[in-house]
């Protein structure tokens, strides 16, 4: 997510880059061609999920909607715009999801939430993931959309995200032997009306607390930089207000539930990609306990295009590339400082390893987990925030910025 800082008013001379038609055209061709290919080789539903992923990538890029910098600037500088947007996103998603999950079907399709166990592995994994967010420079969704937007550093993070995911898949059986509780669905335990009311009350409380703390730290809510464009131009080229992104992501997650029968996830695909890569090198990954359940074994044998999470991840990358072309901002930088590169490697491994231990990332565990009424999602965010606190403190050791708004004085 874009850092929310004080900005100067845009004047007539403000520079707005033109559309990069080569990048936007290539991305649009990849979206259309990829959709046709997936539709022909797998199914029309799978093609639609690829295009929903593309829409997610565009939304994430244009709204600069992420989680890593939102957590960091609140931890370090008490700026809460990103957290407030997350509360709006969760509120809309829960309002849509809870009645449907209680019914068990949506438009005649059976649906279920992402409800996972709560235990030592979740706490440890989410904590490691939180550290990895700050060192790697992104979360799961943030890594994908910034890769699509042209960030070469995040390519490094993504590669080692995959490495860490494979390592986590290999070690997960041991972590599953540690103390754990059975999955808890608040929707099933309390009924959807009470579960929704309690969740909405928590979201409102978090929203209010961020407002109070930001005003105490800065005397007012810190404004972001003004928009460069307005009207249709802003819709097409960005940047969008955070609340647009929040509502759009909630609606797209609901569309995912309708088509896939379960909410949006990201990181299970990384374990699949890495395991397939090791298998191609002769490693017998099929014998790992992680891949023993029949459904898991089948996904290891099938094409990645048959995997819902994979095609949506591909769509996010291409959708973000399309958005970057529309915004005229696709400009990869290939020279990376050594300390920043090391942080990307370490952060990527922690992100991948932590997401496997915690049964998901900021999307599958936090966003979709809470939207599913899973107690696991709330435990995840508490542990992940603790990891973000440590990760934020570690960033300067790797030459990474911790953004703060300059104090306004009369001097």
Q: Tokens 């810190």 appear where?
A: 222
Q: Establish if 2 belongs to a structural domain.
A: no
Predicted confidence band of residue 407 (pLDDT cuts 50, 70, 90):
low
What domain count does the chain have? 1
pLDDT at res. 5: 33
Q: Establish if 3 belongs to a structural domain.
A: no
Q: CB of 171 within 8 A of CB of 277? A: no
pLDDT at res. 11: 42
CA dist., res. 101 & res. 257, Å (int): 10
Query: What digits encode the pLDDT tens for the residues 127-154?
Result: 999 999 999 999 999 999 999 999 999 9
Q: Establish if 9 belongs to a structural domain.
A: no
On whether the pTM is more than 0.95, the answer is no
For 403, phi then psi, to 5°, come to: -75, 135
Categorise residue 212: left if φ over 0, alpha if ψ from -120 to 50, beta otherwise. alpha
Segment 282-308 shows an average pLDDT of: 88
Helix (H, G, I), strand (E, B) or coil at 155: helix
Q: CB of 134 within 8 A of CB of 362? A: no
Which residues lie across from 156 on neighbouring strands? none
Predicted confidence band of residue 15 (pLDDT cuts 50, 70, 90):
low
Mean pLDDT in the chain? 92
For 404, phi then psi, to 5°, come to: -135, 145
Assigned token pair, 316 = 């996010």
pLDDT at res. 411: 36
Q: Establish if 150 belongs to a structural domain.
A: yes
Strand stretches in 186-289, DSSP E: none
Burial of 284 (0-12, 13-18, 19+ CB in 10 A): exposed
Which residues lie across from 185 on neighbouring strands? 374
Q: DSSP assignment of 50-87, as one string?
A: HHHHHHHHHHHHHTT--SHHHHHHHHHH---HHHHHHH
Q: Establish if 339 belongs to a structural domain.
A: yes
Assigned token pair, 155 = 């390519």
pLDDT at res. 268: 95
pLDDT at res. 8: 34
Q: Establish if 12 belongs to a structural domain.
A: no
Query: What digits encode the pLDDT tens for the residues 49-63?
Result: 999 999 999 999 999
Query: What digits encode the pLDDT tens for the residues 203-249?
Result: 999 999 999 999 999 999 988 767 777 778 888 888 999 999 999 99
CA dist., res. 279 & res. 71, Å (int): 37
Say what angle helices 44-62 and 308-327 make with each other, to 10 degrees.
40
pLDDT at res. 227: 74
pLDDT at res. 294: 72
Cα–Cα nearest to 145, from 318, 266, 29: 318
Domain around 359:
21-398
Q: Establish if 405 belongs to a structural domain.
A: no
CA dist., res. 228 & res. 226, Å (int): 6
Q: CB of 147 within 8 A of CB of 154? A: yes
pLDDT at res. 295: 66
Burial of 301 (0-12, 13-18, 19+ CB in 10 A): exposed
pLDDT at res. 2: 40
Helix (H, G, I), strand (E, B) or coil at 363: helix
Q: Establish if 209 belongs to a structural domain.
A: yes
Segment 299-319 shows an average pLDDT of: 95
């Amino acid at each position: 997510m874009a850092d929310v800082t004080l900005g100067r008013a845009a004047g007539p001379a403000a520079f707005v880059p033109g559309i990069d038609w080569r990048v936007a055209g290539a991305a649009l061709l990849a979206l259309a061609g990829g959709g046709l290919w997936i539709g022909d080789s797998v199914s029309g539903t799978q093609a639609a999920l690829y295009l929903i992923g593309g829409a997610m990538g565009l939304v994430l890029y244009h709204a600069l909607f992420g989680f890593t910098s939102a957590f960091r600037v609140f931890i370090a500088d008490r700026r809460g715009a990103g957290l407030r947007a997350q509360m709006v996103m969760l509120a809309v998603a829960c309002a849509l999801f809870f009645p449907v999950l209680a019914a068990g079907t949506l438009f005649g399709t059976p649906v279920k939430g992402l409800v996972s166990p709560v235990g030592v592995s979740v706490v440890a994994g989410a904590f490691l993931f939180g550290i990895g967010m700050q060192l790697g420079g992104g979360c799961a969704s943030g890594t994908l959309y910034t890769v699509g937007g042209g960030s070469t550093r995040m390519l490094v993070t993504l590669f080692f995200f995959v490495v860490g995911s494979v390592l986590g898949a290999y070690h997960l059986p041991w972590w599953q032997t540690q103390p754990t509780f059975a999955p808890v669905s608040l929707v099933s335990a309390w009924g959807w009306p009470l579960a929704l009311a309690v969740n909405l009350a928590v979201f409102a409380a978090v929203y209010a607390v961020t407002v109070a703390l930001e005003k105490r730290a800065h005397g007012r809510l810190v404004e972001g930089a003004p928009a460069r464009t307005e009207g249709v131009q802003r819709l097409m080229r960005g940047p969008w207000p955070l609340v647009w992104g929040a509502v759009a992501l909630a609606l797209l997650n609901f569309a995912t539930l309708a088509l896939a029968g379960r909410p949006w996830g990201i990181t299970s695909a990384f374990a699949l990609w890495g395991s397939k890569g090791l298998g191609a090198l002769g490693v017998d990954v099929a014998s790992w306990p992680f891949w023993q359940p029949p459904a898991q074994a089948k996904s290891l044998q099938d094409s990645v295009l048959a995997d819902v999470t994979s095609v949506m991840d591909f769509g996010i990358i291409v959708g973000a590339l399309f958005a970057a072309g529309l915004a005229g901002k696709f400009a990869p930088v290939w020279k990376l400082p050594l300390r920043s590169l090391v942080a990307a490697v370490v952060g990527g491994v922690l992100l991948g390893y932590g997401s496997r231990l915690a049964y998901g990332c900021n999307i599958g565990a936090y966003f979709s987990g809470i939207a599913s009424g899973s107690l696991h999602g709330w435990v995840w965010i508490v542990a992940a925030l603790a990891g973000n606190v440590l990760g934020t403190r570690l960033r300067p050791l790797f030459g990474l910025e911790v953004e703060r708004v300059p104090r306004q004085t009369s001097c």
